Chain A
Amino acid sequence: MVNENLVKDVVKEPYKYGFVTDIETEKIAKGLNEDIIKLISQKKEEPKYLLDFRLKAFKKWQKMKEPDWAGLGYKQIDYQDIIYYSAPKQKEKISSLDEVDPKLLETFDKLGIPLTEQKKLTNVAVDAVFDSVSIATTFREELAEHGVIFCSISEAVKNHSDLIEKYLGTVVPASDNYFAALNSAVFSDGSFVYIPKGVTCPMDLSSYFRINSGDSGQFERTLIIAEESSSVSYLEGCTAPMFDTNTLHAAVVELIALDDASIKYSTVQNWYAGDEEGIGGIFNFVTKRGKCLGKRSKISWSQVETGSAITWKYPSCLLLGEESVGEFYSVALTNNLQQADTGTKMIHIGPKTKSTIVSKGISAGNSINSYRGLVKMGTKAKGSRNYSQCDSMLIGDQASANTFPYIKSQQPNSEIEHEASTCRISEDQLFYLQSRGIEFEEAVSMMVSGFCRDVFNQLPMEFAAEADKLLALKLEGSVG
């Protein structure tokens, strides 16, 4: 038998992003009501349509019930005990990075995301978000030369109001679900990307989300628009300090791809997961959805989910355009008392649309790891195809792995294929590797990363290496 203790040791690696930045912040009072929403909107100097959007969403939210269908157990969230706006205090208008509080720059340095001119990553433009606000965005001028807009969503509201008004809430309507409604009411910041017609974005774009305050929720909103024949690869990273309270993260991401456009959205999610007893950690309830509006458009989600106490996340694709393509590649690792309920929805509406789902779940400790997905072929989705593969790996006899694929078809001229399997690291495989002189832990991590290979291959280079390391760290000592 696989030695339990060794398994546990592997998973025990402390969370290395758990530090808190000591910085003076501006926080508004706890609680949620119309006045708070007006205050957020006022602080961000928003136009009236946006305030209306927020208030309408809030009204809807008040009428909605918190979902319990995922069968996850968690402590009731007190929505009046959350701070909905928290920002590090700094000068009103920052004209260059030199004016950013050095403590903030240092924080991102420590997280491996240097922002300053001298140290910034050379091939990735970064939008750094600290609690409720965007701190800095690198490479803006270079991107502007290509007509690419990459900025915080607050800035976009000011400078590209027409685009925001046209697209915000068109993929994820405020009434979509409980957490999307909440986000629509109180979202503070996030990233905005616009790729003009015919442009291939010259570098990867990346947002890095950092939750610092223990008592504020994070409600960021991302909107990416790829015009005809454009393409972009976007990366998202997240970390948070260790607190013994649960912090709510309810983001909304909307992607829109027009004719022949392609958007690749990659996430490495490493929010604080809570300790071994399940104290603390982030509640990660996000709504991510892309709309393949144009012909031959393509939206590809890839994600590595390792953090958060609870994750509910179903990055989805609405395949409207003829011959549009949706993809979902996911690795979700849960340990200790983590719960992850993740998957995707592929809604085939247009003809000859294609989707691929590859999901790898690894559950260790007492965690629960579920794949939940929907594949639907509408009546007009003639000649469409879906292929799904969902594999689970179980480590230890307390971990649980569930697979709930919903499959629905109304179109005879379409094909859906779903496969799922469960495995564990076999002793024979381990022995084989060990007999070739490979250390036990390395053997385990090799097998886990082999298990995830199909997904890692989809990640941008920098992310793939990081994801591999992250899994190895998370699993250290969890297999024996």
Chain B
Amino acid sequence: MKIIEKIKTNKSIDNQTEIQKICLDKLQSTPLPNLKSEQWRLSNKSKLSDFLDYSVNEKDPKFDTPFPKTSQSTIRLVIGENCQINLIKENFAIKQLSEDQLVKYIKEQISCFDQNENWSDLLNLSLNCAKNTLGLKISGSEIPPIEIFSHASSNTLNAKTLVICLEKDCDIDLLQVNLGKDNSSLSQSTFFFLEENSSLNHGVVSYGENKSNLLNSLNVIQQKNSEYNLGSLHYKFSYARFEIRIKQSEGNAKTNIKGMQISKKDEQISTYTKIDFNGPNGFLDQINKSLADDKSHAIFEGSIIVPKIAQKTNASQLSRNLLLSNLTQIDTKPQLEIIADDVKCKHGATISQLNEEELFYMRTRGITLTEASKLQLSSYFQEIISFIPVSKDRWDLLDILLNEN
């Protein structure tokens, strides 16, 4: 059944909200993304159709968070479990966004949507209902770290939406965890508004299971003097697509992105990023690493757009890829589009396997090939993992990865 039909005939999705109507309307004119376009041409078509194949009947399975909560101060929220939070403390406040505010924020985003580029968001918002949307407004200082879980249930296509507005001068650590289940599809769209002088350390850990799929999109608008740091890790998905769109709306903002994607078997994992500098003095430091093995396919496409208004932008983007098997395929395309002259922009890309001279050096010191490879991989992962906030204190992601690779 076509996705539009599924949505329309589904009773558990309350086709009432304004947002849903607008998005469904737009989705109807593009029921599928343009598979010939730059953003989608490398996407595995059969995997994308698998993604859409599951029923959108929203069951409500019980969700056991798989990771222990070790620190009492951490705030843990699970989207879809009617999570309510209203914390007003001396130093800070975490409040639920009202329906009106939510509509206002999302509508603002939709107004600059590109049908094709934001297709994942259109799908997400068309599918979604109030229950699976979490909207927060955060202000103040000394805010405890926040963890937000999104999960899919087996044989279902689930959509979860997160909207967060960080008020002026606010500073938080936030970890998003996206969990796939056997034979499932998860659509996760996230919208962040960073007001002046705010700072967000954001982590995204997406961890799939057998035959799970993920469309994960992240839209960030940064006002001036804000700082956005993202550390991300995606692995174990049959099909995962991570889209990052960042707009420094007035320039004068800082963005740091460190991403890691791991693909094995016949998995396809892709990362698309678009960084738009809409004012002067913007800063970007981005590195995307991939590790691809077996018959998997890893994709990175990054674009940096520096219009005339964005003088004195300083942007750097690096794509590093490890290709470990004869049957693996890696595509990478870092792009620069620049109109301003007084800017410093650079990008780079490498595809290779583990460095043989380094391996030999370690082996001449008695370290076995397996161990030497592990040491190399660990340093390869470490740079990214250590950038993911909140998680590092409690799950040893690095150990998990090393044991699996």
Do A and B touch each other in the complex, judged by CB within 8 A?
Answer: yes
Closest chain-B Cβ to A274's Cβ sits at a distance in Å of 20
Cα-based distance from A418 to B321 in the complex (angstroms): 12
CB pair B351–A409 under 8 Å, yes or no, is yes
Q: Are B335 and A402 in contact (CB under 8 A)?
A: yes
Contact of B323 among A397, A400, A409 (CB under 8 A): A409
Indicate if B25 sits at the interface (CB-CB under 8 A). Answer: no
Asked if A434 lies at the interface with its beta carbon under 8 angstroms from chain B, I say no
Please measure, in the bound complex, the distance between the C-alpha atom of A298 and the C-alpha atom of B351, giving whole angstroms. 24
Given A409-B329, A412-B353, A401-B336 contact (CB < 8 Å): yes
Q: A413-B353, A416-B352 are in contact. Are A397 and B340 (CB under 8 A)?
A: yes
B131 smallest CB distance to A (angstroms): 42
Q: Is B200 an interface residue (CB 8 A)?
A: no
CA distance A224 to B147 in the complex (A): 65
**Measured between C-beta atoms, what is the minimum distance from A480 to chain B in Å?**
12
Which A residues are in CB contact (< 8 Å) with B321?
Answer: 409
Question: Given A397-B308, A397-B341, A399-B339, do A420 and B347 touch, yes or no (CB 8 Å)?
Answer: yes
| A406, B333: Cβ atoms closer than 8 Å | yes
Within 8 A of A (CB), among B343-372: 343-353
Q: How far is the CA of A399 from the CA of B326 in the complex (A)?
A: 43
Give the distance to chain A from B111, nearest Cβ to Cβ, in Å.
24
A409, B346: Cβ atoms under 8 Å?
no
Q: How far is the CA of A233 from the CA of B314 in the complex (A)?
A: 42
The docked-state distance in angstroms from the alpha carbon of A373 to that of B40 is 19
Question: In the assembled complex, how far is the CB of residue B303 from the closest CB belonging to chain A, in whole angstroms?
Answer: 9
Whether A408 contacts B331 by the Cβ 8 Å rule is: yes
The main secondary structure of chain B at its interface with chain A is strand
The proximity string for A residues 117-135 relative to B, scoring 1 for CB distances below 8 Å and 0 otherwise, is: 0000000000000000000
- The answer to whether B325 and A420 touch across the interface, beta carbons within 8 angstroms, is no
- Residues on B with C-beta less than 8 A from A397 are 308, 311, 339-342
Whether the Cβ atoms of A417 and B350 lie closer than 8 Å is yes
- Asked, given contacts A406-B331, A415-B351, whether A400 binds B338 with beta carbons under 8 Å apart, the answer is yes
Residues of A within 8 A of B329 (CB): 408-410
Is B330 engaged at the interface, CB distance under 8 Å to the other chain? yes
Contact A395 B341 (CB under 8 A): yes
How many A residues face the partner with a CB closer than 8 A?
34
Contact, CB under 8 Å: A421 / B345: yes
Q: Which residues of B contact A396 (CB under 8 A)?
A: 341
Query: Are A418 and B349 neighbours in the complex by a CB distance under 8 Å?
Result: yes
When the two chains form their complex, are residues A422 and B336 in contact, meaning their CB atoms are under 8 A apart? yes
Among the interface residues A392, A403, A413, A419, which one has the most CB atoms of the partner chain B within 10 A? A403
Encode contact with B along A440-480: 1 for CB under 8 Å, 0 otherwise.
Answer: 00000000000000000000000000000000000000000
A405 in contact with B345 (CB, 8 Å): no
Tell me how many residues of B have a C-beta within 8 Å of chain A: 34
The answer, yes or no, to whether B110 is at the interface (CB within 8 Å) is no
Q: Are B338 and A394 in contact (CB under 8 A)?
A: yes
Distance in Å from the Cβ of B357 to the closest Cβ of chain A?
12
With an 8 A cutoff between CB atoms, is B324 at the interface? yes
The one of B338, B349, B353 in contact with A407, judged by C-beta atoms closer than 8 angstroms, is B349
Partner of B330 from the list A409, A413, A418, A420 (CB cut-off 8 Å) is A409
Complex Cα spacing A410 to B321, Å: 12
Total A-B residue contacts, Cβ distance less than 8 Å: 109
Q: How far is the CB of B351 from chain A (nearest CB, A)?
A: 4
- Inter-subunit contact B336/A400 (CB<8 Å): no
Asked whether any CB of chain A lies closer than 8 Å to the CB of B145, the reply is no
Known contacts: A409-B329, A413-B353, A420-B336. The answer to whether A403 contacts B347 by CB under 8 A is yes
Closest to B321 in A: A409
Query: How far is the CB of B170 from the nearest CB of chain A, in Å?
Result: 34
Q: A411 — which chain B residues lie within 8 A by C-beta?
A: 323, 326
Contact of B338 among A377, A404, A418, A422 (CB under 8 A): A422
Bound-state CA distance A402–B350 (Å) is 19
Instruction: Given A409-B323, A420-B336, verify A399-B341 contact (CB < 8 Å).
Output: yes
- Do residues B351 and A394 form an inter-chain contact, with CB atoms below 8 A? no
Q: Which of A392, A394, A418, A422 contacts B348 (CB 8 A)?
A: A418
Fill in one digit per residue for A152-184: 1 if any B CB lies within 8 Å of its CB, else 0.
000000000000000000000000000000000
Query: Are B331 and A422 in contact, with the CB atoms below 8 A?
Result: no
> How far does the alpha carbon of A379 sit from the alpha carbon of B327 in the complex, in Å?
8
Select the residue from B329, B336, B346, B347 with max chain A CB neighbours within 10 A: B336
Contacting pair B341 A394 (CB below 8 A): yes
Given the known interface contacts A412-B323, A418-B349, A419-B348, the answer about A407 and B333 at a Cβ–Cβ threshold of 8 Å is yes
B264 → A minimal CB distance (Å): 14
Q: Is B31 an interface residue (CB 8 A)?
A: no
Question: Which residues in chain B, 21-59, are within 8 Å of chain A measured between CB atoms?
Answer: none
- The answer to whether B331 touches A415, judged by C-beta atoms less than 8 angstroms apart, is no
User: What 1/0 flags go to A344-369 for Cβ under 8 Å of B?
Assistant: 00000000000000000000000000
Contact with B along A26-46 (1 / 0, CB 8 A): 000000000000000000000
B contact residues around A402 at 8 Å (CB)? 335-338
- State in angstroms the CA–CA spacing of A406 and B324 once bound together: 20
B115 within 8 A of A: no
Query: A423 interface residue, CB < 8 Å from B?
Result: yes
Cα–Cα, bound, A397→B343 (Å)? 10
In the assembled complex, the Cα of A413 lies from the Cα of B328 at a distance in Å of 11
Evaluate contact between A398 and B308: CB separation under 8 angstroms.
yes
Q: Which residue of A lies closest to B313 (CB)?
A: A422
A379 contacts which chain B residues (CB < 8 A)? 326
CB <8 Å contact, A420 and B341? no
A408 to B334, CA, bound (A): 12
Tell me which residues across on chain B come within 8 A of A414, comparing CB atoms.
351-352
B266 to chain A, nearest CB (A): 14
Are B331 and A407 touching (Cβ within 8 A)?
A: yes
The interface residues of chain A lying within 8 Å CB-to-CB of B331 are: 406-408
- B332 to chain A: closest residue by CB: A407
Chain B residues with Cβ below 8 Å from A412 are: 323-326, 328, 353
Q: A424 contacts the other chain (Cβ, under 8 Å)? A: yes
Instruction: With A397-B311, A407-B331, A410-B329 as known contacts, state yes or no: A420 contacts B348, CB within 8 Å.
Output: yes
A-B contact pairs, 9 of them (CB 8 A): A392-B338, A403-B347, A407-B333, A411-B326, A416-B349, A416-B351, A418-B350, A422-B345, A423-B344
Given contact pairs A399-B341, A408-B332, enumerate 4 new A-B contacts (beta carbons under 8 Å): A404-B333, A407-B331, A420-B347, A422-B345
List the interface of chain B (C-beta within 8 A of A).
Answer: 308, 311, 321, 323-353
Residues of chain A touching chain B, judged by Cβ–Cβ distance below 8 Å, are 377, 379, 392, 394-424
Q: Which 3 A-B pairs have the closest CB atoms?
A: A394-B341, A421-B346, A418-B349
